[in-house]
């Protein structure tokens, strides 16, 4: 403990992770840096792959020999750098099948996003980067293309990785799983200051890390701080990731162009000012993650919702429940009442275009499973132990009940009986039946929701806490099947006849080295919505 910034960088440099990248056209028209030379390893932020298709994936890295430089430039000069990349069938690169050069440009923080095509479906590949004519070479990463035929698929989902509240032990264990991909449901970073000692990390950082992120440079450095963690790097190195954001990638509980009103004097009630902040946050998010060109933001606008298919087994619908939602009603928070406001039929969580896209896509999927990658809890979650009254969280779908009704009724009316929702945000695990009417126990079950806990946010957890006790009190939320408030991730196994969820938890995160165990397992059968505990 008691690490310095230099110590953190030194540890990350030896962690060993893979990298790669591609660049969007139209930037830095000048010639590339002819003979790049770096004061330190430019690949300290690791490598990643994502959004797998049958013929390829997107590969990512960012050149940053000084990842935490105050100006947010990662220690790089304002020039383009050509980055060589290779994809091979073996880890020794004896059989290179694709290669090329991608420009890393200063306008995108010297990140690279290479969209590789022409690969074979459903197989592992290895990749690496090199900056020529220098000798900077990245470690080797592994990725996997989407299958066109499959009898089984395994993925893990995770969310909420507050760096200063816990170590990423869950990712260290996740990296050893046998998976086809990882789905991240949001809160990849947190915008708050990290504290004088970096919380449990015991790390001294300069003053720019002690305040809330506002600028592109600050968002870049917050991402870089998180990406230096060796366990997070290892999890990115091992599998392709599919990512979407929640609120803390920008600011707590933001909604469309409406910011949370802060007490620090920043004009978050000014739409123009908040859109400028969003533009910096969105750009830094893109610069640090393996996203394809259609997800590259245009200022404060970005289409993050998208769809990925994995043979006839899975249609994965990746949602964005932040960018198009209406503002939270009744001042936000957890409140009793507010019935008329939260049930207003004009209010939306997804926006009309995304809502229609989702319902049409589930109906047309033609796969054994429709899985929604969703941010906040859809199920009604009554916090009041008196079943006659409802006290609910207004940032969740409980604050948008007409939108929830449209979603669940739309699935039911379209005959979609194979829908499973993966949810993050709530720093605890919940298994719930999604019903047409949550106040009627005889109402049809439309889908199953597996809400997963945080990786580290909230610090050490326990199997049960007061919050969970209230939720699980008999008669309060009868559609809830199980609850746990430990940290971890969830593994989903899919076959044509079964979807299985294994909740993997770590007993503690405020110190490193925890073991991992399976707290509970559930199965769902296609055509029969509702989870059953094993």
Four-residue CA torsion sign, 505, 306, 364, 496: negative
161-181 CB burial, b ≥16 within 10 A, e <16 = bbbbbbbbbbbbbbbebebbb
pLDDT for 24: 40
* Tokens at 9, concatenated: 């960088």
pLDDT for 16: 30
DSSP 145: P
Cα–Cα separations (whole angstroms), residue 471 to 327, 440, 481, 501, 529: 25, 17, 11, 21, 22
pLDDT for 6: 36
**How many Cβ atoms sit within 10 Å of the Cβ of residue 308?**
19
What value does the mean pLDDT take over residues 202-224?
94
**How many Cβ atoms sit within 10 Å of the Cβ of residue 528?**
11
Question: With left for phi above 0 and alpha for psi between -120 and 50, is residue 324 left, alpha or beta?
Answer: alpha
DSSP 301: B
**How many Cβ atoms sit within 10 Å of the Cβ of residue 143?**
30
Residue 257: exposure state from Cβ atoms within 10 A (0-12, 13-18, ≥19): middle
Task: Output the pTM of the full model.
Answer: 0.94
DSSP 64-117: -SSTT-TTSSTT--SS-EEEEEEEESSTT-SSEEEEEEEEE-GGGTTEEEEE--
Helix (H) or strand (E) holding 227: helix 216-227
- Neighbouring residues of 30: CB distance < 8 A, sequence distance ≥ 6: 79, 80
Taking Cα atoms as reference points, which of 427, 49, 63, 487 lies closest to residue 243?
A: 49
What value does the mean pLDDT take over residues 314-342?
94
pLDDT for 17: 29
Which residue shows structure tokens 């939260």?
Answer: 342
- Cα of 248 vs its chain's centroid, Å: 11
Helix (H) or strand (E) holding 56: strand 56-62
pLDDT for 263: 56
**How many Cβ atoms sit within 10 Å of the Cβ of residue 480?**
21
pLDDT for 31: 64
What value does the mean pLDDT take over residues 399-424?
97
Taking Cα atoms as reference points, which of 396, 405, 404, 372 lies closest to residue 305?
A: 372
- As a whole number, the mean pLDDT across the chain is 92
To the nearest whole percent, how much of the chain has pLDDT over 90?
A: 85
DSSP 171-224: HHHHTTS--SEEEE-S-SS--S---TTTGGG-B---GGGSS---SHHHHHHHHH
What value does the mean pLDDT take over residues 519-527?
96
- Neighbouring residues of 356: CB distance < 8 A, sequence distance ≥ 6: none
Distance CA 187, CA 175 (A): 19
What value does the mean pLDDT take over residues 272-287?
96
pLDDT for 29: 53
With residues binned 3-state (H G I as helix, E B as strand, rest as coil), the percentages for the chain, rounded to 5, are 20, 30, 50
pLDDT in tens, 295-316: 999 999 999 999 999 999 999 9
Four-residue CA torsion sign, 330, 336, 341, 347: positive
Q: How many residues does the chain have?
A: 534
pLDDT in tens, 337-383: 899 999 999 999 999 999 999 999 999 999 999 999 999 999 999 99
**How many Cβ atoms sit within 10 Å of the Cβ of residue 55?**
14
What value does the mean pLDDT take over residues 113-127?
98
Question: ω before 256 within 30° of 0 (cis)?
Answer: no
Pairing of strands 517-525, 240-243: unpaired
Taking Cα atoms as reference points, which of 173, 223, 261, 203 lies closest to residue 1?
A: 203
Q: Do residues 487 and 460 touch, judged by C-beta distance below 8 A?
A: yes
* Tokens at 343, concatenated: 């049930």
pLDDT in tens, 16-44: 323 333 334 445 555 666 677 888 999 99
* Tokens at 13, concatenated: 């440099």
User: Which structural domains are found in the chain, ordered by start?
Assistant: 153-188+306-534 (3.60.21.70)
pLDDT for 260: 84
What value does the mean pLDDT take over residues 436-445?
94
- Cα of 239 vs its chain's centroid, Å: 14
């Amino acid at each position: 403990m008691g690490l310095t910034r230099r110590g953190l960088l030194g540890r990350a440099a030896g962690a060993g992770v893979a990298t790669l990248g591609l660049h969007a056209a139209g930037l830095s028209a000048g010639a590339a840096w002819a003979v790049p030379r770096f004061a330190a390893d430019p690949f300290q932020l690791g490598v990643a792959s994502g959004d797998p298709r049958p013929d390829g994936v997107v590969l990512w890295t960012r050149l940053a020999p000084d990842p935490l430089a105050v100006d947010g430039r990662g220690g790089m000069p304002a020039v383009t750098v050509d980055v060589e990349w290779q994809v091979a069938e073996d880890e020794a690169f004896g059989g290179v099948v694709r290669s090329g050069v991608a420009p890393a440009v200063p306008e995108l923080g010297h990140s690279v996003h290479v969209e590789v095509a022409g690969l074979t479906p459903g197989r592992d590949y290895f990749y690496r980067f090199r900056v020529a004519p220098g000798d900077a070479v990245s470690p080797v990463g592994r990725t996997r293309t989407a299958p066109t035929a499959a009898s089984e698929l395994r993925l893990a989902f995770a969310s909420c990785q507050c760096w200063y509240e816990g170590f990423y032990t869950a990712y260290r264990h996740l990296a050893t799983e046998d998976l086809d991909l990882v789905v991240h449901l949001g809160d990849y970073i947190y915008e708050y200051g990290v504290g004088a000692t970096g919380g449990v990390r015991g790390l001294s950082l300069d003053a720019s890390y002690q305040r809330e992120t506002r600028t592109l440079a600050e968002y870049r450095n917050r991402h870089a701080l998180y990406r230096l963690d060796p366990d997070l790097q290892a999890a990115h190195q091992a599998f392709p990731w599919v990512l979407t954001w929640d609120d803390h990638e920008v600011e707590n509980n933001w909604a469309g162009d409406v910011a949370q009103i802060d007490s620090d004097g920043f004009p978050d009630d000014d739409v123009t000012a908040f859109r400028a902040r969003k533009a910096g946050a969105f750009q830094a998010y893109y610069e640090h993650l393996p996203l394809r060109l259609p997800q590259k933001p245009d200022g404060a606008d970005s289409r993050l919702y998208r769809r990925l298919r994995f043979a006839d087994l899975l249609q994965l619908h990746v949602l964005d429940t932040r960018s198009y939602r209406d503002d939270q009603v009744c001042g936000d928070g957890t409140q009793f009442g507010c019935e008329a406001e939260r049930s207003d039929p004009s209010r939306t969580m997804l926006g009309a275009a995304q809502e229609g896209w989702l319902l049409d896509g589930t109906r047309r999927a033609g796969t054994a499973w429709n899985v929604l990658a969703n941010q906040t809890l859809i199920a009604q979650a009554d916090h009041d132990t008196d079943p006659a009254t409802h006290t609910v969280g207004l940032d969740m779908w409980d604050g948008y009940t007409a939108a929830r009704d449209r979603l669940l009724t739309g699935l039911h009316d379209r005959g979609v009986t194979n829908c499973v929702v993966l949810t993050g945000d709530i720093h605890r695990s919940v298994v719930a039946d999604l019903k047409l009417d949550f106040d009627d126990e005889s109402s049809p079950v439309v889908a199953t929701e597996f809400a997963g806990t945080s990786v580290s946010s909230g610090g050490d957890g326990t199997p049960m806490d007061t919050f969970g006790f209230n939720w699980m009190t008999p008669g309060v939320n009868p559609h809830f099947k199980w609850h746990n408030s430990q940290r971890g991730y969830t593994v989903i196994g899919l076959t044509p006849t079964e979807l299985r969820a294994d909740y993997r938890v770590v007993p503690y995160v405020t110190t490193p080295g925890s073991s991992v165990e399976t707290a509970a397992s559930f199965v769902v059968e296609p055509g029969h919505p509702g989870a059953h505990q094993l």
